[in-house]
Amino acid sequence: MVSYKELGLVNTKEMFKKAVDGGYAIPAYNFNNLEQIQAILQACVETKSPVILQVSSGARKYANSTLLRNLAKGAVEYVKELGYEIPIVLHLDHGDTFELCKDCIDNGFSSVMIDGSHHSYEDNIKLTKKVVEYAHAHDVTVEGELGVLAGVEDDVVAEHSSYTKPEEVIDFVKRTGVDSLAISIGTSHGANKFKPEQCTKNAEGILVPPPLRFDILDEIEVKIPGFPIVLHGSSSVPQEMVKIINSNGGAIKNAVGIPEEQLRKAAKSAVCKINIDSDGRLAMTAAIRKVMAENPAEFDPRKYLGPARDALKILYMHKNDNVLGSSGKA
């Protein structure tokens, strides 16, 4: 067994307390490869932001769990080289079984999410509690989920969403012992978060999604005051990136995200962790497509992955500075 402390990582306990008290959210960025983790760490060091490095089950299959763990271990040394040490959490995103969560805990993860939202309420509690008991025995923090987010991202697929029921949160938190709670208030996975018929159009003809249900968030905060809340599916889907992709051979249609001003409002509440993945994929894809279109003879991966990494870094610095409010909080 490898303890996360041996890797120089931290769990989310103190990180979330500071975020709730300070009115900001910790960035939770997914990574699958070297360029992504470089961009995340460079952005967070330069903005002096704490960070949660997220690994999905799909990422573990793609990149190998041992390699990912060692990338996270190297992240601690890398930020020292960059000149400013920031707290780093290694987190399992959307774990769906006890066995997967246990394996991550045994291999150096400092935080895990057990997503039992696809089960019945009682089975969700049973599964989540089992993970919490094992995780807490190793000082690892656990994120649970109530409510279902629609959309597709990696292995997470849901056709329909269901809002979190505020009347359930006290019972769920008490019976499971979770350290944080992912809720559903209108965010969604992927770049195509909403169907066109769910949206309106602004003066420029751009699709505008329905607003987040801040009334539900407010009610949850009343039920469990100060408890760490998490938002998944919180990419904004920048239209300039979609335009670059499509103008260079892409075919992304009806891509709509969560307005950044709504995420900033959420980050000032008890929402202390905001997950962003699709925006990073769009930034990298836009940069790669642009290089390939302008230099069709290019075949050196460094010549297109380097610009992709740089574009991702710029995006995440913007998120830390202007959306999450986490800059300067490390």
Q: For 109-259, where are the alpha helices, taking DSSP H only? A: 121-136, 166-176, 214-223, 239-247
Q: How far apart are CA 322 and CA 282, in angstroms?
A: 19
Residue 48, CA distances (Å) to 28, 78, 288, 330 in order: 15, 14, 28, 5
**Arithmetic mean of pLDDT over the chain:** 92
Which residues are CB-neighbours of 130 under 8 A, at least 6 positions away?
Answer: 98
Judged against a pLDDT cut of 60, whether residue 164 lies above it is answered with yes
Taking residue 199's Cβ as centre, other Cβ atoms within 10 Å add up to 16
**CA nearest neighbour of 273 among 227, 323, 231, 234:** 231
- φ, ψ for residue 229, nearest 5 deg: -110, 145
pLDDT at 198: 76
Q: What is the pLDDT of residues 219-256, one digit of tens each?
A: 999 999 999 999 998 999 999 999 999 999 999 998 88
The mean per-residue pLDDT over the stretch 70-81 comes to 93
CB 43 within 8 A of CB 50: no
Residue 234, token pair as written in the block:
């919180």
pLDDT score of 158: 43
Active site residue 93: yes
Tell me whether residue 165 is exposed, middle or buried, using C-beta atoms within 10 angstroms of its C-beta: 0 to 12, 13 to 18, 19 or more: middle
Q: What pLDDT does residue 190 have?
A: 63
Confidence of residue 152 (pLDDT cuts 50, 70, 90): very low
Question: pLDDT tens across 12-22, in order?
Answer: 999 999 999 99
pLDDT digits 0-9 by tens, 96-127? 999 999 999 999 999 999 999 889 999 999 99
Single out the catalytic residue among 93, 179, 277, 279: 93
For domain 4-324, give the CATH number.
3.20.20.70
Helix/strand/coil for 229: strand
What six digits make up the tokens of 100? 């997967």
Domain ranges of the chain: 4-324
